[in-house]
Amino acid sequence: MDDAQTILAFSKVRKSFGSGAEALPIVGGVTFDVARGEFITLLGPSGCGKSTLLNMSAGLMQPTSGSVSYDGAPVRGINLDVGYMTQADHLLPWRTIAGNIAVPLEIQGLPKAERAARIEQLLTLVGLERFGAHYPSQVSGGMRKRAALARLLAADPATLLMDEPFSALDAQLRLTMQGELLSLCARFRKTVLFVTHDLDEAITLADRCVVLGARPTTIRRIVPIDLPRPRDPVRLRTNPRYHALYAELWDLLAEPSTTAPQAQDAPSAASMAGAFA
């Protein structure tokens, strides 16, 4: 069965920042597989190295030991099969919304006429058809997030890496965006690795939820989210199974750490920027 094929594999992945005695272990041995078309949420406390796992999948950083494989081969250098969406939208402020969505299409070398048609399509898909000519500074945070999502879809990567993309949005908008993401993923059969520290979000979106412990991160448990699809983020809240899962994940997160938690905050190196520092 094609669907069960492993697309992304973490094998005994460890990552430390710095070297020698001052090395700060962030990821302390993580092993799990992601199947093609699967939606995985990574749930864990802030600064536990969730973003580091995404950065390694993208090839923005290399594991200190162990390996990250994509489509059967170890990830070396930039992984062009993935697209990244972070908490900040990182739209280019000097381009209009339409211009921002055009960026990946220009890189792909799509002819101008096709580009325009595709941008129209994507704007409609995320409900921004009237805002193509606006600059990012002229629209709301929610619209910028939609624009970033449209840009991600324009790049059309097989795998989406999403790092708390909706955490800056208000509760209502977040539910709307989750709903949109669910329907888009169902439609385009994307594999998704979605980092969050929000329990509701982790359950609503996932096929499986990987619960991580405090730094250095290890997997506490991988919880299959056996809720029926298609899901409606609002209606799910009334599902008893949903509440059972919520309680289970909560207990897992609250469990005292087996390793001594580190007092200081995660270094900024844990963000994407660290890959270029």
Partner 1 sequence: MMVALYRILFLAAFLAIWEAASKAFDAAFFISRPSLVAASFLKMISNGSFFYNLSITATEAALGFLFGAIFGIVAGLLLGRLKLLADILDPFLITFYSLPKVALAPLFILWFGIGIDMKVILAAVTVFFLVFLNTYTGVRSVSPEQIAILRLMGAGERALISKVIVPSALTWVFTGLRLSVPYALIGAIVGEIIAANRGIGYILSDAAAQFDTAAVFAALIGIVVLSLIFNGIVRLAERALMPWKAGEGTREISI
CA distance 51 to 96: 28
CB-wise, 134 or 208, nearer to partner 1?
A: 134
Task: For residue 156, give the DSSP letter.
Answer: -
CB-wise, 124 or 138, nearer to partner 1?
A: 138
Residues interacting with partner 1, by CB under 8 A?
58, 60, 78-80, 82-84, 86, 88, 90, 92-96, 103-104, 106-108, 134-135, 137-138, 155, 157, 271-273, 275-277
CB atoms near residue 244 (< 10 Å)? 10
> Positive or negative, the Cα torsion across 168, 171, 172, 176?
positive
Residues in the chain: 277
CB-wise, 88 or 184, nearer to partner 1?
A: 88
Q: What six digits make up the tokens of 161?
A: 């890496």
Alpha-carbon torsion, ordered 254, 259, 260, 261, to 10 deg = -50
Q: How far is the CB of 22 from partner 1 (least distance, A)?
A: 23
Q: How far is the CB of 135 from partner 1 (least distance, A)?
A: 5
Q: How far is the CB of 223 from partner 1 (least distance, A)?
A: 29
Q: Which residues pair with 67 in a beta bridge?
A: 11
CB-wise, 96 or 176, nearer to partner 1?
A: 96
Q: How far is the CB of 137 from partner 1 (least distance, A)?
A: 5
